[in-house]
Amino acid sequence: MQIEFLCVGKMRESWLQAGFAEYQKRLSRFATVVVTEVPDAPDNLSAAIAMKKEAALLEKKLSKSGYKVALDLQGKLYDSLEFARKLDTWQLKGGGKITFVIAGSNGFAPQILGRMHERVCLSPLTFPHQLTRIILAEQIFRGFKILRGERYHK
């Protein structure tokens, strides 16, 4: 089983890096975790141009194999139990590989969303993309624990 985080931007803050590293370690019991980062566009660009530049970089890194899930505010909201069931389904459909794609601050260009199998919203609140990685990693970990009937989720 492989879980890939394909993300626009780097985790710059050490406390965020430490938080993600903790969940990456926890997830290693269940899957190989791969993190692929592409640079975010400069702030001085318009949103449309920034999305286009980031989309070109994401397209180069987006694998043809596996099940692709975009983290998107217009995506489907799941509770933790539903998300766990979805993880199980996605790994089967993806041949053991799930790629979660996290956009930059301007969101996704349409051509990237068109390549996704699913769009998921973690919350109607907006989070920095660096924090989104940690929240997503925790939910994936929680999902694996739920699927195995292990204590963690209450």
pLDDT in tens, 23-39: 999 999 999 999 999 99
> Does residue 48 have a pLDDT over 80?
yes
**Confidence band for 144, pLDDT divided at 50, 70 and 90:** very high
C-alpha–C-alpha distance, residues 85 and 50, integer Å:
35
> Does residue 104 have a pLDDT over 90?
yes
**Confidence band for 78, pLDDT divided at 50, 70 and 90:** very high
Query: Quick one: 127 exposed, middle or buried, by C-beta within 10 A (0-12, 13-18, 19+)?
Result: middle
**Confidence band for 153, pLDDT divided at 50, 70 and 90:** low
Domains, the chain? 2-147 (3.40.1280.10)
Q: Give the pLDDT confidence score for residue 41 in this predicted structure.
A: 94
Q: What is the mean pLDDT of the chain?
A: 95
- Counting residues of the chain whose pLDDT is more than 90, the rounded percentage is 94
Tokens of 46: 């318009």
Q: Give the pLDDT confidence score for residue 151 in this predicted structure.
A: 84
Distance of CA 29 to the CA centre of its chain: 19
Mean pLDDT of all residues in 64-91: 97
